[in-house]
Structure 1
């Protein structure tokens, strides 16, 4: 397997919003089956990195590769068809559809819809009592579970998950972490997360981003927020 290309690779990626230079030469790779965290303060380019991978904010320089193939500049729907799933920070579900309907519309054509929905609900048992409720009526934690469950029903091998613990109560965060941990056993994961201990618990390696550049990378098992370099870049 060592000869296989990475599931995801960014090489010298520069991305802009208008004239604002956000990513400044980001290099990053995630091997197939690996779980990697992208950490850093607010506004350093973490979400822009995900958007650049997805083609939502196409890089002006550099290359994005999925399974060794250059996808830089491809339309977002074509990148998604390569098995890339996205859980955005703002969740973006169909608020007037029920939980079950949200899951069904995310199920790929030709697959066993009922089976996929049941597997997603197995990952989030707390949603079983709410399958007929409109997603817009759920709590923030429940909505986050729906957002992740939607990715579960798709044929996605690479998941990009943006700030899954944002705005959630600690008990709900634990449920989300448990579900992501189970999910991460079967897929390749790139996780953007402000909660540093949580990010380290869920991943194998991490990249630390600051001002649009990777400034540190390392093993999640040995990383500590008390490390002088990490603390310097994570502190407000």
Structure 2
């Protein structure tokens, strides 16, 4: 579904990605792992064309995305759950979910899905998103990704800063989503990433340094820990 080849991405003069290669096949979850600052989020931004690569190729089902506007990438079925959550703070929970649904006729079903997945949001449906707790905001961010009818979902650090019970709810929602949505997941919580993903890539020194099947490793594997420890 997704092929990233030789991607070179910069922020100004800063060279952030140096020849990143990865593939995501339809129906699988792929984890992208590595220390802070190695380019994981930039990889997602490069796919979305928020930070377009200066060199390399990003193809979705064989179609080149480099050179498109971000809204054109989204129209092709690529969704994004950003690390920063990016709520419409002055809109209610319900309104935030509604604006994520391309067809207004699907809004009722989308709300049912969001509230079934995260019952806490049902109780706060009329609250402004800016008044939610951090965990509730993350639930809302994921709910918006779930209802967007995406073929490929890019998920950036979904468990960061959350209490264990909230992490459990988020993990269950992502696992359910993965049954019918292809996913590229950035996640620092190694046990969670390995549990959700079918395959993994490790970034270090601005490029991919390891990859494999998650069934081949565990959270204590030195193969991964040497790239993930501070």
TM-score bin, normalised by smaller chain = over 0.9
Task: Give the Cα–Cα distance (whole angstroms) in 2 for the partners of residues 146 and 82 of structure 1.
Answer: 23
2:79 to 61, 69, 85: 85
Task: Give the Cα–Cα distance (whole angstroms) in 1 for the partners of residues 229 and 141 of structure 2.
Answer: 29
**Shift of residue 110, structure 1, vs aligned partner:** 4.9
Task: Give the Cα–Cα distance (whole angstroms) in 1 for the partners of residues 169 and 198 of structure 2.
Answer: 20
Say whether the 8 Å CA contact 1:201–1:221 is kept in structure 2: no
Per-residue CA deviations over 1:150-192 (Å, capped at 9, x if unaligned) read: 1122121100000001111111111110111111111000000
Task: Give the Cα–Cα distance (whole angstroms) in 1 for the partners of residues 117 and 216 of structure 2.
Answer: 28
2:182 to 185, 188, 195: 188
Say whether the 8 Å CA contact 1:55–1:76 is kept in structure 2: yes
Task: Give the Cα–Cα distance (whole angstroms) in 1 for the partners of residues 206 and 154 of structure 2.
Answer: 18
> Is 1:24 equivalent to 2:21 in the alignment?
no
**Shift of residue 226, structure 1, vs aligned partner:** 2.5
How many residues get paired?
230
Q: 1:109 to 1:90 in 2, by over 3 A?
A: same
Task: Give the Cα–Cα distance (whole angstroms) in 2 for the partners of residues 110 and 32 of structure 1.
Answer: 27
Partner of 1:157: 151
Q: Unpaired runs of 5+ in structure 1?
A: 1-6
Task: Give the Cα–Cα distance (whole angstroms) in 1 for the partners of residues 105 and 184 of structure 2.
Answer: 26
Partner of 1:221: 215
Q: Unpaired runs of 5+ in structure 2?
A: none
State TM-score, norm by structure 2.
Answer: 0.97
Task: Give the Cα–Cα distance (whole angstroms) in 2 for the partners of residues 90 and 48 of structure 1.
Answer: 14
RMSD of the alignment, in Å? 1.0
Partner of 2:64: 70
Show structure 1 runs of 4+ deviating over 3 A: none
Partner of 1:99: 93
> Is 1:210 equivalent to 2:204 in the alignment?
yes
